[in-house]
Structure 1
Amino acid sequence: MQSLAQGFEAIGHGLNNLEDYRKAPVGRLRLNIPHDAGRLLILPVLDQFLSRFPQVHLDLVMDDRMLDIVAEGFDAGIRFGATVPRT
């Protein structure tokens, strides 16, 4: 019985530790954006974002080529209206 109690205690402790990740974003965020979007939209707020979310590692790739952001492993991208592929 003691081993079961220790196991459940360990599980409870692990679940409590997971709650810390719900309070603020953590991890890597990969974004693919055109140069103009970086200059006009991202760079003006970048310092504030990084200060507010210090646990987020931002991998920002500015590239004007159209590419498949999912296939390239990006989490998200910014595209201007006329450049969004239609399916």
Structure 2
Amino acid sequence: MESLVATSWEGFGELLATIQTGLPVGHTRWDGMVAVLASYQKWKNGNRDQAAQAADEIDGPLGEGLRAWYTHLRARADVPVVTPRTSPSGRGPG
């Protein structure tokens, strides 16, 4: 099985620097990773709709996985947090 992304050690620092800018690096598989990371950065910064739109443009298993992850995160966010009620004394359920 061929690895999804690979590169030689020589030039790896430059590759990572380019990836951090969010610009394509000129290799289909690495460019997919760049798109995933850029989308997730949007999600992390609170731009959920922009992140989801960016994820919709990513083909293949990376895009599928990212969309599934966002679906999971949104579902978790929709679940209300329930905290147990305590009695006025603070010693257990009230």
Q: Shorter chain as normaliser: what TM range?
A: 0.3 to 0.5
* Greater share of residues in helix: 2
Q: TM-score, normalised by structure 2?
A: 0.31
* Greater share of residues in strand: 1
Q: TM-score, normalised by structure 1?
A: 0.33
